[in-house]
Structure 1
Amino acid sequence: MIVTCSHCAARLQLDEAKLPSRPFTVRCPKCQQNVNVQPPVLSRVGVQESVSAGPPVRPIPAPAFTLEGQERGRTETLERSTGVSTEELLNALVALVRGEGAQVDFVRRQRARRALLCLEARHRESVARSLAENHYEVYLAADTSQAIERMREDKIDVFVLDVEFDAAEQGAAFLTREIMALRPAERRRLFFVQVSPTVRTADAHAAFLNNANLVVNTADLKDLPSLLDYTIRSFNELYKDYFAALRLAPL
């Protein structure tokens, strides 16, 4: 049986005698992406029928998480109606206190921050709820393919990755390599948070070794919104001149 990879168009030869009876996924040896495979259908006389050739099935991107009774984009509407965000007002106030009022010229954020969560199932909903309540657009990935598709479809600002995510497919290692392969300009626009049960929360040395902006111990996930608020503010301050030169909005 020959399967075509939907990502790089490589052709994979599979042994039909060893195929399971239900749909499954295989990893493409060329691009390392997961490929969904529909096994041949057994006819009534027990003879395998060839699978009809059709367009490859594209993996579903990580779905959005919304709070009950809450409209998505409420923060966007609020910021458009007022013209500035809370973060911009705070930055403007600091600049005025420092005597830099004449030089304040913001490129305003036109939307809420988008956060992609790649966490174990037992942590997903609680962390998603806490971030949504703090005005994030949250997406929950159940596996590696959903995470990849969401990153390709939407610009993600905050990427939260558990080192034990999708362990069967080595999802954490694969997604970390994807981040490390980003161009520097793209990498600066992505705030990478690594979650692990063995790290000390906000350990700058551990974050540097893991190519992350922030490391969080699994036990401290309940504090993620406040940790992000502080570290992203520091990140924006560090790259303030860089963002200003390129007329980029802060993260």
Structure 2
Amino acid sequence: MKLVCSQCQQAVQIDDAKVPAGTFKVKCPKCSNVITAQKAAPSSSAAENITAAVVESPVSDASSSEGDVPLATQAFVKKEIAAMKNEILAAMASLFGGDTKWREAGASPEADMDDPLSKKALICSGEDSQIDFISSVLRRLGYALDVARGATEAIKKMDAGSFNLVITCSSLPDDAEAGTKIIGKLNGQKPAMRRQTFIIVVSPTLKNGDSNAAFFQGANLTVNANELKNLETLIREGQRHFQQIYSVFSRVLAEKERSE
């Protein structure tokens, strides 16, 4: 008797003498699916001895959570989601990798970064000159601005409304942990809301675009306070990475929801 697996089209030859009466099952040697077949009635036509195979779920004692979804469809969806997850990992490796080098002043920003990620920014700083310079950069990028001169004031403003970009500087006069309090407040938001905020930390002890330091501080970008001349370029570059990561994340999330 010859069986044909309708899943992978593998032909399975069984000795007629070993074929049991009635319905029986055979595991496909190629794709491991179960082939359900029935011994053909005696016939002079050899073609009638070729039994069509019915493919069931893979051999397993556990019930399938995918229900009646065809195995080919299940495999395709899982493959696509896995590919997208790999894209996320690659993008995150690019952003957080130790060899990441940010462009310094004079580099040409990408054309697709002419529009900022959002339009409302909060500057947290205690120095007038620092506030003035950062404000001029953010205005060029199209942001509406608000200023907080301490952690307490910043948290009140964040309670009153959301911001798409927050810059916290080590010059805040409240206390040495002012920046940590502000970032802690932002990172305490629901994930969907947190992803809408681009956080920048400015300090004389940090390197420009130090992705590892930004990660451990819960921020998106670090800027050296003595090199603010690079701020506009760094923001554009940082936001471009930010957009790349979350555009892939959103695609994976949408695919996951559709597959459930």
TM-score (norm 2): 0.48
